[in-house]
Each structure stands twice: as structure tokens, then as C-alpha cells.
Amino acid sequence: MNARDKMLAHLETSKPTSSSEFHALTRAPKSRVNQILKELLESGHIEIDSQINDIKRYRLTSLHSNRRQAILDYLDDGHEGTSGDISAATGVCLSMTTQILVSLNKRGEVYREWLGREKVWMYRKNAPHKFGCANPLTAFINQRLREVRT
């Protein structure tokens, strides 16, 4: 198995990986690893997952979109749950499920609510509807005012 195939196989089963981790995995020269990464980026096979302090982590484009779609399909079916529940139902690893759910929440595609007693985030497709007040901040203030008055 050549270095390119090792890198692609690793990305299919593992979390996003940096070029130095690919270098340790394949034992190929760093210049060769960087060349392969550049070719894979240009062809669209991989994409940059994150970049922290000039360290780029790469992931498979198609695999990530399949995982993302599986999570969206699960939530579109009317289900809701924690990242652990969604991970178990979709078969996507927990850390990747959490990362995808956070990014979907930032985009506004998924609503998340903090459950204080369980100390976990609950994810659902739509925000729960509160009757009587469309603005959650106004509803919160009205609730606190009712508590103070009683």
C-alpha cells in the first residue's frame, strides 16, 4: 500500500489528521506527504477540517458529508437527543457527532438547549415553541418577574 492509499484509509476510520501525523503514519518524507495532501485537496477528496496555530487537520470530503447527512436525516425524522444518543443511532463516532452538531447549530440548522440537571446539550431540528411569547429573552424576563412577584 502506497502513502496515498495509507492516508486515505486512515481518514476513513479515524478523526481528522495533520500532516505530521501522516508523516509518522506513512514514514514517507514530509515533502511527499505535503505533495499528496496538496493533490488530494485540489482534487476535492479531502478538505481542511480545522486550522489551529498553522497546524491544519484534514478530513475526507465525502465521508464528512455522509456523516453530516446521516445526522440531519435522524433529526429530520422528528427525533431529538444528546450527542451520545444521536451518535448511537447514526453510527457516527461521538467526537465527530458532537463536532458536526455544534457546526450545524452555528449555521442555524439545528437547535440546541442546555439541560441543567443532566448537564448535557439536547439537540433537535426545531426550537421548542413557547406559547404567548415569540422572543425567548422576553419570556425569560416575564418568568423571572412572575417568580419575584409571588
Report if residue 150 sits inside a domain. no
Report if residue 98 sits inside a domain. no
Report if residue 38 sits inside a domain. yes
pLDDT, mean of residues 131-145: 79
How many structural domains compose the chain?
1
Report if residue 23 sits inside a domain. yes
- Three-state secondary structure of the chain: CCHHHHHHHHHHHCCCEEHHHHHHHHCCCHHHHHHHHHHHHHHCCEEEEEEECCEEEEEEHHHHHHHHHHHHHHHHCCCCECHHHHHHHHCCCHHHHHHHHHHHHHHCCCEEEEECCCCEEEEECCCCCCCCCCCHHHHHHHHHHHHHHC
Report if residue 51 sits inside a domain. yes
pLDDT at 128: 63
Report if residue 86 sits inside a domain. no
> For the segment 47-105, what is each residue's pLDDT rounded down to a tens digit?
888 888 889 999 888 877 888 899 999 999 888 899 999 989 988 878 788 888 988 88
Report if residue 109 sits inside a domain. no
Give residue 53's domain range: 3-62
Report if residue 41 sits inside a domain. yes
Which CATH number do you get for residue 34?
A: 1.10.10.10
